[in-house]
């Protein structure tokens, strides 16, 4: 499996069978890239599009309609995708279940994308999420959760790999200071390959080029 940082909160997850998933897809996933699957959240326009490319076979919105939360359990060849909803709660705007944590099961690994997370997770959230081998976390510290809160979530999940996103100009060292027990790897490329056997022995933050 290959993971590529595209921009902002968009990572590409590419499976062994060639399924390409774009997270928090806003209409762009890299030069010439049309993913097979696009997941989206709606806190800002940089996390979704109302007009996804019609060539995208599966579009999964992280919010529901008519007061019902989004519920996804989709299989696209060798990728299984589900979601756990969280609330939008910022600057006086509250929307129950307005955001989704998307979870991708591929190549024997579980990958979680926290989306535009605004609040701490409770025991029921952690139970619904389950074990994440890789977690993609927003580290801006303002528009989403505080860096301390995100650091606590990353530490509690004890994922083998943490991939920061949604950084803006926030010094990455501030986030790294919140999880001092994690190793740090800075990569010169925007992508890497990983397998279940290739997971690091120690929980590791991987900083891909462009983050």
- In order along its 211 residues, the chain shows pLDDT tens digits of 999 999 989 999 999 999 999 999 999 999 999 999 999 998 777 788 999 999 999 999 999 988 899 999 999 999 999 999 988 776 667 778 888 999 999 999 999 999 878 678 889 999 999 989 999 988 865 555 555 667 778 778 879 999 998 886 677 888 888 888 889 999 999 999 999 999 999 999 999 999 9
Which H or E run contains 151?
A: helix 147-157
- Please report, rounded to a whole number, the percentage of residues in the chain having pLDDT higher than 90: 63
CATH of region 2-207, choose from 3.40.50.80, 3.30.565.10, 3.40.50.970, 3.60.15.10 = 3.60.15.10
Nearest to 90 by CA among 49, 131, 145, 40: 145
């Amino acid at each position: 499996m290959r993971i590529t940082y595209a921009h902002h909160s968009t990572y590409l997850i590419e499976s062994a069978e060639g399924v390409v998933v774009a997270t928090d897809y806003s209409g762009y996933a890299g030069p010439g890239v049309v993913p097979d699957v696009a997941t989206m959240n709606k806190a800002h326009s940089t996390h979704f599009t109302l007009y996804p490319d019609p060539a995208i076979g599966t579009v999964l919105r992280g919010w529901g309609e008519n007061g019902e939360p989004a519920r996804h359990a989709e299989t696209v060849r060798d990728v299984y995708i589900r979601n756990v909803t969280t609330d939008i709660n910022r600057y006086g705007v509250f929307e129950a279940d307005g955001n989704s944590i998307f979870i991708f099961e591929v190549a024997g690994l579980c990958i979680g994308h926290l989306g535009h997370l605004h609040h701490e997770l409770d025991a029921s959230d952690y139970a619904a999420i389950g074990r994440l081998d890789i977690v993609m976390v927003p580290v801006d510290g303002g528009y989403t959760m505080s860096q301390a809160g995100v650091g606590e979530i990353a530490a509690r999940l004890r994922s083998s790999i943490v991939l920061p996103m949604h950084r803006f100009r926030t010094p990455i060292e501030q986030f790294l200071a919140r999880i001092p027990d994690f190793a740090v790897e800075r990569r010169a490329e925007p992508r890497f390959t990983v397998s279940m056997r290739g997971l690091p022995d120690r929980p590791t933050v991987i900083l891909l080029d462009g983050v």
